[in-house]
């Protein structure tokens, strides 16, 4: 009788050990972080209209920012603006800028390289008094080929072929947007955008 009881306890003990071992081995496959809905995770797509910023953290450092996965833009349209495909006139462009007193704020001309070395000029301007600049013109051989507006707007070169537009969506929440435009046959086509958030301490 004692032998049977010891044997039963042994089988139960071995069964528990095997169950725990199996649980440990299977758990990594059930933990898919890409399916999380936690806004603090980087492995999710965040749309422009989603309220996720600022992201809470406890890193104790300023100027930290997180960027979420890109959101594809399903569009065959190109950038639209009344000044597209017109001759760029720097004097006229500067006359549109915001004036504070009698002073104009002129930005230095920037250059971006795309399409295997094609050189484009970027001109910035101010339309208000804060969150500067607000407008950017991309010019090729004296012709305006791209125009964008937004708070703290900035044009950057993109790999492999195109430009990226960075802008502030909400200054108070620390919410930013980066949009990729691909350059094809003289036109810029939007391909994706990414939302970024400042990290605030808990």
pTM of the model: 0.74
Output the tens digit of pLDDT for each of the chain's 202 residues: 545 556 565 655 565 555 655 554 444 444 443 333 344 566 789 999 999 898 887 765 667 888 999 999 987 777 788 999 999 999 888 887 776 655 667 788 999 988 777 889 999 998 877 788 989 999 999 999 999 999 999 999 887 789 999 999 999 999 999 999 998 888 889 999 999 999 887 6
Bridge partner residues of 182 (DSSP): 162, 189
In a 3-state reduction of DSSP, which class is residue 151?
strand
Farthest CA pair distance, the chain: 105
Q: 98 vs 81, 101, 105, 144, CA distance in Å?
A: 19, 10, 8, 20
Name the 3-class secondary structure at 12.
helix
DSSP 87: B
> How many other C-beta atoms lie within 10 A of the C-beta of residue 175?
21
Token reading at 176: 């930013």
**What tens digit of pLDDT does each residue of 16-75 get?**
555 655 554 444 444 443 333 344 566 789 999 999 898 887 765 667 888 999 999 987
Distance CA 133, CA 155 (A): 11
Distance CA 155, CA 172 (A): 22
Fill in the DSSP letter of residue 59: -
Cα(72)–Cα(194) distance, integer angstroms: 9
Residue with tokens 């209209």: 49
- The structural domains of the chain, with segments of one domain joined by +, span 2-31, 34-201
């Amino acid at each position: 009788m004692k032998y049977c009881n010891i044997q039963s306890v042994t089988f139960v003990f071995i069964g528990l050990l095997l169950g725990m071992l199996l649980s440990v081995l299977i758990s990594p496959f059930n933990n898919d972080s890409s399916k999380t809905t936690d806004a603090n995770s980087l492995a999710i797509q965040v749309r422009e209209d989603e309220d996720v910023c600022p992201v809470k953290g406890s890193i104790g450092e300023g100027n930290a920012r997180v960027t979420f996965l890109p959101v594809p833009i399903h569009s065959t349209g190109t950038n639209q603006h009344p000044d597209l495909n017109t001759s760029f006139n720097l004097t006229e462009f500067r006359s549109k800028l915001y004036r504070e007193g009698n002073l104009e704020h002129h930005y230095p001309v920037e250059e971006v390289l795309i399409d295997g070395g094609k050189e484009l000029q970027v001109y910035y301007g101010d339309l208000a008094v804060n969150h500067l600049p607000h407008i950017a013109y991309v010019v090729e051989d004296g012709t305006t080929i791209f125009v964008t507006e937004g708070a703290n707007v900035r044009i950057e070169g993109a790999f492999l072929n195109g430009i990226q537009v960075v802008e502030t969506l909400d200054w108070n929440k620390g919410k930013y947007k980066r949009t990729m435009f691909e350059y094809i046959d003289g036109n810029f086509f939007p391909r994706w955008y990414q939302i970024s958030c400042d990290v605030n301490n808990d």
